[in-house]
Amino acid sequence: MENKSETQPQYSSDVHHIKIKGKEFFIIGTAHISQNSADLVREVISNEKPDVVCVELDKQRFKALSEKKKWEELNLKQLIKEKQLSTLLINILLASYQKKLGEKLGVKPGVELLEATKVAKEFDIPIELIDRDVRITLKRAWNSMGFWQKMKLMTVGLASVFEEEEISEEKLNEIKQKDVLNEMMAELGKQMPVLKEVLIDERDSYLMQKMKEVNAVKIVAVVGAGHVNGIVEALESNREQVIEEIEIIPPPSKMVKIIGYGVPAIIIASLIYIGYTKGADVAGDNAIFWILANGIPSALGTVFALAHPFTIISAFLAAPITSLTPVIGAGYVAAFVQVYFQPPTVKEFESVTEDVSNWKMWWQNKLLKVLLVFILSGLGSAIGTYVGAYKIITDLF
């Protein structure tokens, strides 16, 4: 890394100046809820007048930050069909966490990233969005975790959202110097290394490679402070990253597949065997128990969520069937029916990052209610599957 020369403006230590292979990089490490970072971004771009401004955003996040009507184009039914409710929930939890800190600091999350695009437009400088599609990142993170890791992530995420801890002035000043989102990810990464690998390390490589591929000589890159060391190290070592390799959505783990196909196979085979050895009446009784063991807990979950009556019925009917197929879960069926009969309004989409931290709003905000239906009906079905399986398997002997 080459330090700033005497002929260049003396920026803060958050600006890293590197010259490699005929290209000049000014990498600005920012805190995603810091006005100081926004001011620094404006200063560097205004002074350097680069050929290109690279920003740690993808098209989806840029649209979300810059367009007030972003939620009007979100197709919730399509998200359910594509089985993306889990990633939507994670996105909401992360956004809520950032927003809470931003409100305490009096700064809108992402202000420095938008400032970079704004200043670039003022000087007619091309903008490159260099981050990986957030949906790919979240899918890779989610699919890379095991069942218990997913439960742990949800627990930690929900706990941080509902936490009402008062932040001291000293803590606020410390937060202002950091990239808060990446700090949180780094903390989670200590407990779940796979998260750090996907959310931080992979994106370091992705951002670095995108910066190198930009057709320009002088480049200003605005990235979260948590990515700077990884990017600088990768640039200095002249490392290459094949982008396509880290854009692939990994398939579920082999264990998930084994359980997904194995449990239904065992249940069906057990019922057939019971019918053959003990008679159709005993097999019929076990089949009825399976239906009730799955349907009742799943339906009760939707009742607890105060779901639409047809959602409750659909959860009861779907759970015994979806438990015998790995293709779709009862939670997605119930969520789809809930959206059909009680679709969330645009206003509820826009207020979700505030409402998510108030547990009462999970029953009032229709988007949160859909997620509540998804979680509780799926949990009820999972409990019923193991209860039903235990009863049927014990009847084999």
The radius of gyration computed from the CA coordinates of the chain, to the nearest angstrom, equals 25
Whole-number mean pLDDT of the chain?
82
The residue assigned the tokens 């966490």 is: 97
CA dist., res. 56 & res. 130, Å (int): 6
**pLDDT tens string 250-304:** 776 676 677 777 888 888 899 898 898 988 999 999 999 999 999 999 999 999 9
CA dist., res. 388 & res. 292, Å (int): 9
The SS3 of residue 69 is: coil
Confidence at residue 23, expressed as pLDDT on a 0 to 100 scale:
92
- 223 pairs with which residues across the strands? 29
The residue assigned the tokens 């879960």 is: 329
**Which helix or strand (DSSP H or E) is residue 207 part of?**
helix 202-213
Residue 238 is given by DSSP the state T
Q: Identify the burial level of 294 via C-beta atoms within 10 angstroms of its C-beta, where 0-12 means exposed, 13-18 middle and 19 or more buried.
A: buried
Q: Compute CA 226 distance to the chain's CA centroid, rounded to the nearest angstrom.
A: 18
**pLDDT tens string 310-347:** 999 999 999 999 988 877 889 999 999 999 999 988 78
Pairing of strands 127-129, 23-30: unpaired
Encoded tokens for 21:
């292979």
User: Does residue 172 have a pLDDT over 60?
Assistant: no
Confidence at residue 108, expressed as pLDDT on a 0 to 100 scale:
62
Lowest-confidence segment of 61-75, 115-129, 161-175, 297-311 by average pLDDT: 161-175
- 30 pairs with which residues across the strands? 224
**Which helix or strand (DSSP H or E) is residue 127 part of?**
strand 127-129
Instruction: Judge contact between 230 and 29, C-beta under 8 A.
Output: no
Q: Which residue has the higher pLDDT, 337 or 94?
A: 337
CA dist., res. 245 & res. 227, Å (int): 19
Range with top average pLDDT, 10-14, 242-246, 355-359:
242-246
CA dist., res. 275 & res. 12, Å (int): 77
Averaged pLDDT for residues 115-137: 92
User: Does residue 50 have a pLDDT over 80?
Assistant: yes
This prediction has a pTM of 0.69
User: Does residue 74 have a pLDDT over 80?
Assistant: no
Encoded tokens for 305:
């969520």
DSSP string over 298-321: HHHHHHHTT--HHHHHHHHHHHHH
Q: Which residue has the higher pLDDT, 38 or 102?
A: 38
Lowest-confidence segment of 176-185, 301-310, 339-348 by average pLDDT: 176-185
- Order of strands across the sheet that contains 15-20: 15-20, 23-30, 218-224, 52-55, 127-129
Confidence at residue 6, expressed as pLDDT on a 0 to 100 scale:
44
Lowest-confidence segment of 56-65, 143-152, 263-272 by average pLDDT: 143-152
CA dist., res. 164 & res. 237, Å (int): 43
Q: Compute CA 250 distance to the chain's CA centroid, rounded to the nearest angstrom.
A: 15
Q: Identify the burial level of 203 via C-beta atoms within 10 angstroms of its C-beta, where 0-12 means exposed, 13-18 middle and 19 or more buried.
A: buried
Encoded tokens for 17:
């100046």
CA dist., res. 329 & res. 340, Å (int): 17
**pLDDT tens string 221-249:** 999 888 888 899 999 888 888 898 998 87
